[in-house]
Structure 1
């Protein structure tokens, strides 16, 4: 097959990149993660709001830092490609392996599971019923996989429409909350009784970071952008600044209606706040808007995850590499998209939103920290290289991003050691697979 048949078409601009960031990041987290954040703080708002604020600052620092590499290395694959070019084939492979087997697929499944939870509730199923939410979750991933294979423009159109639609429940909840809400304290108390502050903050921060996560994924579509060196950094910075503002305002709005001690008890806080504000029928209408938002989030994950797997397959160091790197007549990696559907569906069978989000967020931040360090490494080794964008306040912003990310990793290992073991175990499985294909390639070269 000619090489050009496996190349992606350059059809995307700034608007799709920006809407992809908003579509992925403002997906499920802001509507469902307040439960996990305030549960971690024992129903106290202060430390929870601090976790939301710090998660936003870390994400902005990360976006500011990663944008420099995104401008220098505007290739499909995003972080996987960056780490491959900066640190070598093995590190790039491990990043791609974790993304394809755990992070992207786990995040896709997590978003689909909460879509299933919300949809099952609207359809009248018993709260927490296992099979309805799981079957709906698997069905929505399959439907979006089909739509994504129609072309990158179709995927981008879905993202743009979903971004517009998701603003409706966001704006509605914010405005009406401040008009009709009773005005609960949003800063005190700082922490619930008998809780370890360090562990509580670690758990709250990890939960909040998932709500902000996904911004790095837009780099995976760089190879399909018409002017990635200019548009990708702009989309990252403007997108994450917008998301941070939305999240802080949304959490204040929630707390204005329901105290943190009540938000910690419900897995569907946005829907519950809506019922308080609008009654049962009005709450259902807003819940439909939330479903549209989560739908866009799942689409964003499927869209970018397929590109990650496609890039990994091009290394020819995983099983079925030749199959997964094929591009269909619409110019999209169809087989990689169906791979994402299969693996994500398996993760959906857990039915556990917080388990999937905690595990995927923890593992990806290991590679985020390495990416942030990559900016410093490239500045030192390639000082005269062309940089269409440079991170401001260098080296302070990259150092802040690295320190914040290191805190997330280390505190998770301490406070949630079993999850860390599972995550690192999945990553280490990639080493013998890499070694097998590396040795196979060397033997073929010798022969």
Structure 2
């Protein structure tokens, strides 16, 4: 395996900060709306947040084995390519380019616009125009160069944690207007328990999204064998604790009916806890946090079609790999991602978009879990600086959880599942057609 020249300078503290910064995004503030709707009760809501965290820990520990054994730029795409071949790797890149990154930008732009309208009491008709303006502004900012986009990411990372800390600390200290019991674990009377569990779990996974990339820091750790599993377990365990506690605060601050389907639930809880002025300040913090999350997906997203075009794997590759003269940014790839995101904003809601991207990315996540078993058998001599602890139990738990999410989506949202599968599958004939055309022209 190539070691790609990365310096091993990161200790446990910086690894822990990277893991937490990668995963914590806008979902923690907005997924309470759909999780409470799907779960139907307060205690099942908290349970699926906990379950989502445990599944994420198992998944992160499993993928980290491949990250240390195949420490190449490209992460998950390279693990898929090494195990299954180029067509499958292209399919993941295609899914990220066409669904994952633009759907993240579209979904988070919609909630950014929703918060803005709620905060300044604007007309609801501005929802989509403001969402488009948000996505366009961040694309243009990233055209100024990776340094500018990266600096914005650092600033917004700080703001990301402030509203979470304030809501958790003051929300726990404030008197509880709402009371509920943690046991026995039940769904709402009109909900099937397992359907509610599956749909609720799927909804939480958007907030935990980002775990697939936590292994990418392996090549820069001083002691990857010790620090990588520690950073993943501690980082994801802390995130799980934060998510469970902040949702506990939401549930004890507002009635369940006030949370269900309400994308402004976090802001409403902030107004309840801090009063009018404090609520506005916390909501502004949430807005900055979401803006930063969109920036992260914009910054990374435009580099996916560029990377595929650089290897001449896409039609019109000669255009998609073009860079700006001074800042060396893939501007046509960025405009393509922006165009797809805008189409998604016009066609879908926040929950529809996030559920689709979670479903599609978990198909490839399951393939990556299986890859750990394949490579253990196929290449037992492969150098593995880190091996997943508790093998084969933890990879099997990650795989079982992933398959549960996929099956639950098929059963509860078949049209969404087939749409996601269809958009992904289009990539395969496109790949072979482009390969055929390449051979004809050479």
Shared fold (TM-score greater than 0.5)?
yes
Query: Equivalent residue for 2:34?
Result: 36
How far 1:23 moved relative to its partner? 4.3
2:365 paired with 1:368: yes
C-alpha contact (below 8 Å) 1:229/1:388 kept by paired residues = no
Asked whether the 8 Å contact 1:106–1:347 carries over to 2, the reply is: yes
Equivalences for residues 37-436 of structure 1 within 5 A? 37-42=35-40, 44-126=41-123, 129-130=124-125, 132-182=126-176, 184-185=179-180, 187-188=182-183, 190-217=186-213, 230=224, 238-328=234-324, 329-330=326-327, 332-350=329-347, 352-436=349-433
* Deviation, structure 1 residue 90: 1.0
Deviates more, 1:258-267 or 1:427-436: 258-267
Q: How much does 1:102 deviate?
A: 0.8
Q: Contact 1:76–1:307 at 8 Å: present in 2 too?
A: no
SS state of the match for residue 211, structure 1? coil
CA RMSD of aligned residues (A): 2.8
Cα distance, 1:361 vs structure 2: 0.8
- Distance change (3 Å), C-alpha of 1:349 and 1:207: same
| Cα deviation, residue 228, structure 1 | 10
Stretch moving more, 416-425 or 254-263:
254-263
The alpha carbon displacement at 1:245 in A equals 2.0
Residue 353 (structure 1) shift = 0.4
1:18 and 1:326, CA in 2 relative to 1: closer, same or farther beyond 3 A? Answer: farther
1:4 match: none
Change (3 A) 1:159 1:55: same
TM-score with structure 2 length normalisation? 0.89
Number of matched pairs: 432
CA distance 1:276–1:9, shift in 2 (3 Å): farther
- Map Cα deviations across residues 141-197 of structure 1 (whole Å, 9 max, x no partner): 222223333343433332222221121111111111111131622525621112111
Alpha-carbon distance in 2 for matches of 1:352, 1:19: 31
Q: CA deviation at 1:78?
A: 2.3
Shift in CA distance, 256/205, structure 1 to aligned 2, threshold 3 Å: same
Q: Are the structure 2 counterparts of residues 245 and 333 from structure 1 closer, same or farther at C-alpha, using a change threshold of 3 Å?
A: farther
The corresponding residue for 1:3 is: none
Per the TM alignment, residue 20 of structure 1 is displaced from its structure 2 partner at its CA by 6.1
What is the CA-CA distance between 1:355 and the residue it aligns to?
Answer: 0.8
Cα distance between partner residues in 2 of 1:370 and 1:414: 21
Assess, with a 3 A threshold, how the Cα gap between structure 1 residues 17 and 98 changes in structure 2: closer, same or farther. Answer: farther
What's the offset of the Cα at 1:332? 4.5
Quote the Cα distance in structure 2 between the aligned partners of 1:327 and 1:378.
Answer: 37
Q: Per-residue displacement from partner, 1:22-48 (whole Å, max 9, x unpaired)?
A: 445322211111110111122x11221
